Amino acid sequence: MKVSGIIHIHSKYSYDGTESLEFLKKFYKAKGYKFIIVTEHTEQLSDSKFNTFISRCEVLSEPDFVIIPGVEVLCKNELEILALNVTKKFDISDPQKLIAAIQGLDGLAVLAHPVKSKGRLDLKSLKGLNGVEVWNYLHDSKNAPRNSNLKLLHSLRKMNNNVFAYAGVDFHTTKRTFELIHYIELDESGLEKKLKKEGLVSLIIDSLKSGRYVIGHESLKISSDAKTTTNQTIKFGMSTFIFDRYKMWRRISKQITKRLNINFPKFLYKIRDKMV
């Protein structure tokens, strides 16, 4: 049985999210996915609001489509860690202690968008991670993962080969969205009994924890151990170079248009944002 889903989504429960859980369910279910993992920012998220979020995830989940709750936690040195499949809001700034706390609740700890923490990463503090977000749509482009992220994962796998590659869409709004998918192949043997006994969420989390999946999209798929060819490494590097130059141009153009009080037609912005 093939199961596909999207990870690293923010709804209105995050301070910078724009869509409701109801909308996200309809949006992704219509695309044929079986699961989404919603990882709300813990900053400005009250306990009552968080509890409501957890409750809504459960209520909106169905046998063939589940919303798995999680959070994105900002640690010291500006590291951000995704806690997947948890029902607790963490207030822990030490990455190592946070990782242990997440796994103590049978959750998955994944380092989010490593490029944002470039130069501040300490491999020892990341010991025990379940995964690294080697491919983030907002920070690494839709075309390819970032080679530095892959290199980080390979370094961590030398210490622990149970850390795997993840891909996150970092969804905040439908204005900029692209699917980076986790493709999971569930073992057909005794699957019906397992679904009744353990449930779809349990089987999905177990597959992610064990690395039994691939990431990407129809044009490019990567194994969970992120083994790539020399040719792919070169292509990824070129893609990242173009993406980073585009991001720099986008930032500068925003500053100039704001300073000169220029408003271009909206279709030009849409063309710009679809370039990479």
Question: How far, in Å, are 109, 110, 179, 182, 200 from residue 211 at the CA level?
Answer: 14, 13, 20, 11, 17
Is there a single domain that holds both residue 223 and residue 245? Answer: no
The Cα 36–Cα 7 span in angstroms is 6
Is there a single domain that holds both residue 162 and residue 268? Answer: no
- Which has more pLDDT, 250 or 264? 250
pLDDT of 77 reads: 79
Is there a single domain that holds both residue 210 and residue 155? Answer: yes
Is there a single domain that holds both residue 224 and residue 237? Answer: no
Mean pLDDT of 235-261: 84
pLDDT of 248 reads: 86
pLDDT of 76 reads: 86
pLDDT of 187 reads: 80
Cβ 85 vs Cβ 68: under 8 Å: yes
Q: How confident is the model at residue 275 (pLDDT cuts 50, 70, 90)?
A: low
Mean pLDDT of 111-124: 86
Is there a single domain that holds both residue 158 and residue 190? Answer: yes
37-87 confidence digits (pLDDT tens): 999 999 999 999 999 999 999 999 999 999 999 999 999 878 999 999 999
The Cα 246–Cα 232 span in angstroms is 21
DSSP code of 14? Answer: S
DSSP letter string over 24-93?
HHHHHHTTT-SEEEEEEE-TT--HHHHHHHHHHHHHH-BTTBEEEEEEEEE-GGG-EEEEES--------
Q: Is the pLDDT of residue 253 over 80?
A: no
Q: How confident is the model at residue 251 (pLDDT cuts 50, 70, 90)?
A: confident
137 phi, psi to nearest 5 deg = -55, -45
CATH number at residue 144: 3.20.20.140
The Cα 136–Cα 144 span in angstroms is 9
Is there a single domain that holds both residue 61 and residue 158? Answer: yes
Is there a single domain that holds both residue 115 and residue 48? Answer: yes
DSSP code of 19? Answer: S
Residues composing the chain: 276
Mean pLDDT of 138-159: 94
Would you tell me how many other CB atoms lie within 10 Å of the CB of residue 81? 23
9-29 confidence digits (pLDDT tens): 999 999 999 999 999 999 999
Q: From 37, 34, 29, 42, select the one nearest 9 (Cα to Cα).
A: 37
Is there a single domain that holds both residue 195 and residue 247? Answer: no
pLDDT of 269 reads: 57
Angle 226-110-133 from CA coordinates, rounded to 5°:
45
Structurally, the chain folds into a number of domains equal to 2
Give the domain-ending residue among 212, 228, 244: 228
The Cα 229–Cα 143 span in angstroms is 16
- Domain hosting 257: range is 231-273
pLDDT of 88 reads: 95
The Cα 26–Cα 237 span in angstroms is 36
Is there a single domain that holds both residue 178 and residue 268? Answer: no
Would you tell me how many other CB atoms lie within 10 Å of the CB of residue 97? 13
The Cα 245–Cα 243 span in angstroms is 5
To the nearest whole number, what is the mean pLDDT of the chain? 90
Q: Which of 80-84, 158-162, 227-231, 265-269 has the lowest mean pLDDT?
A: 265-269
DSSP letter string over 125-181?
GGTT-SEEEEEEHHHH-SS---HHHHHHHHHHHHH-TT-EEEEE--BS-TTS----E
Percent over 90 (pLDDT), the chain: 72
Is there a single domain that holds both residue 36 and residue 163? Answer: yes
Is there a single domain that holds both residue 144 and residue 55? Answer: yes
92-108 confidence digits (pLDDT tens): 999 999 999 999 999 99
pLDDT of 272 reads: 53
Is there a single domain that holds both residue 105 and residue 156? Answer: yes
